[in-house]
Amino acid sequence: MELDAVVAGVGMTRFAKHMDTGLKKLGSMAVRDALADAGLEAQAIQAAYVGNAAAGLVTGQECIRGQVILRSMGIGRIPVINVENACASASTALHQASAMISAGLYDVVLALGVEKLYHPDKTKSFAAFSGAVDVEAMAEVMERLRRAPRPAEARTSDSGAGTKRSMFMDIYAAVARSHMQRYGTTAEQFARIAAKNSVHGSMNPRAQFREVLSVEDVLSAPMIAEPLTRPMCSPIGDGAAAVVLVSGRKARELGIGSTVRVVASVLHSGWDHDPAEPGTVEVCAREAYEAAGVGPSEIDVIECHDASAPAELMAYESLGLCAPGEGGKLIDADETRLGGRIPVNTSGGLLRKGHPVGATGIAQIVELTEQLQQRSGPRQVDDAMVALAQNGGGAIGSDAAAMCVTILAR
């Protein structure tokens, strides 16, 4: 399907530890900002897709999360579709909203992502991540992590995954060690990614962490799961992000000037395949490039799913920014920082902006929309015309459970 979805307005909260702020307030703040940015009233919204992953576990709110949030700000009657797709919940909501507008069903659709992960009982927060694998195969998953090769001098415990830390950090750590063994990638290269993103995040007022870190700072930080130190791991967070999409016809009617279009949105789930074969990121990226009529060299700015620093490095390769095994060279050459050939995670990424999982995918779209509209202040990428977001979630076997790649163009 050829997409006909225009970004009319975007809004988001700061990602942070909002212990005293509920889902309703976080969500309504982002929605109001997006509507104001679009110059529209709430009554203009014809349907809403609301992404959230963990409210049931963390807050106890199940089943009608989107309706509860929107009704609190006077938005009712319209269709509200709740979207849960692990860390890809928000990008999946955007994917569905774009498709419905392009199919001609609606002219104005809201896509909202919202999450609260902080809780006085940290086991509730970590349980949100442990539920993003096949829980009936949990014993097998934990045994595989326990048996994953690790250096003799590894500064991490076999225990604690899922109770003292997100088990996904152990999954990322195992994948990172495999990449290091196969290609000679180093911990210093992973640290360079975390340091780069800290510089970007320091310029983003909505980022959870704004301290600038050196490579040495990153390497000397507490070890979480070898080789991942704390700054190489995305933090939990609370927050919300929203996008108001309109049809091309409605955009012309409203006289929207700085037009940003969704030119590709590709969603896949993982499947059983040989580890040497292309996985979800590669397949989504290939289809998105084809749908948008562009190649990797024509992308001006990227927000990728850096839930860990190694995840960003491997995304360089999967998205076609470099050949397999050459992600380390790309970061060593400073090509993915502001001012480089292809800036990645100008927002600070998940590592510094934060990772309220149900909001992350749309937060990426907020950053990229503002980049394409030349309103990112000190983080601005010069003459950005085409942008890509990669957002994944969950894990089954050796691949993500859900993956979405979105391309925007001005």
Q: Examine the residue annotation and report whether 119 is marked as an active-site residue of this protein.
A: no
User: Percent of the chain having pLDDT more than 90?
Assistant: 85
161 pLDDT higher than 70: no
- Which of helix, strand or coil describes residue 299? coil
Least Cα distance to 95 among 221, 226, 245, 239 occurs for 245
Residue 284 known to be catalytic: no
Q: Which of 87, 233, 304, 322 is catalytic?
A: 87
268: amino acid identity, one letter: H
Q: Residue 159 pLDDT more than 80?
A: no
In what order do the strands lie in the sheet containing 108-116? 80-83, 47-51, 108-116, 238-247, 5-12, 260-269, 399-409, 386-396, 301-303
Closest of 378, 331, 377, 393 to residue 194, by C-alpha: 331
Pick the range with the lowest mean pLDDT from 31-35, 79-83, 130-134, 217-221: 130-134
Least confident of 127-136, 170-179, 364-373, 374-383: 127-136
Q: What is the pLDDT of residues 117-127, one digit of tens each?
A: 999 988 888 88
Average pLDDT of span 335-354: 98
398 versus 185: the higher-pLDDT residue is 185
pLDDT at residue 155 in the model: 56
pLDDT in tens, 211-221: 999 999 999 99
Q: Which residue has the higher pLDDT, 200 or 141?
A: 200
Q: Does 154 or 1 have the greater pLDDT score?
A: 1
Task: For residue range 24-33, list pLDDT tens digits in order.
Answer: 999 999 999 9
Identify the top-confidence range among 126-130, 180-184, 257-261: 180-184
Model pLDDT, residue 84: 98
Burial of 67 (0-12, 13-18, 19+ CB in 10 A): middle
Residue-wise burial string across 245-280, b where 16 or more C-beta atoms lie within 10 A, e elsewhere: bbbbebbeebebeeebbbbbbbbbebeeeeeeeebb
Q: What is the pLDDT of residue 239?
A: 98
Cβ neighbours around 140 below 10 Å, total: 11
Phi-psi region of 144 (alpha: psi -120 to 50; beta: other; left: phi over 0): alpha
- In this prediction, residue 257 carries a pLDDT of 73
| Dist. CA 355–CA 169, nearest whole Å | 13
Quick check: 278 and 324 in contact, CB under 8 A?
A: no
Compute the distance between CA of residue 62 and CA of residue 57 in angstroms, rounded to an integer: 9
Whether 69 has a pLDDT exceeding 90, the answer reads yes
Residue 227, preceding peptide bond in cis (omega within 30° of 0) = yes
Does residue 156 register a pLDDT over 60? no
| Cα–Cα distance for residue pair 170/148, rounded to 1 Å | 10
Question: Any idea which residue has 């998953």 for tokens?
Answer: 141
Catalytic residue among 119, 179, 268, 355: 355
Q: Give pLDDT, residue 137.
A: 84
What whole-number distance in Å separates Cα of residue 268 and Cα of residue 270? 7
Q: Average pLDDT for residues 330-334, to the nearest whole number?
A: 98
pLDDT at residue 315, as a whole number: 98
User: For the chain, how many residues are written?
Assistant: 410
> DSSP letter string over 180-242?
HHHH---HHHHHHHHHHHHHHHHT-TT-S------HHHHHHSPEEETTEEGGGBPPP-EEEEE
Q: pLDDT for 295-308, tens place per residue?
A: 999 999 999 999 99
Average of per-residue pLDDT across 254-260: 86
Residue 151's pLDDT is 63
Q: What is the pLDDT of residue 53?
A: 97
- Domains along the chain with CATH numbers: 5-120+236-409 (3.40.47.10)
pLDDT above 90 for 288: yes
At residue 388, the pLDDT reads: 99
154 pLDDT band, cuts 50/70/90, is: low
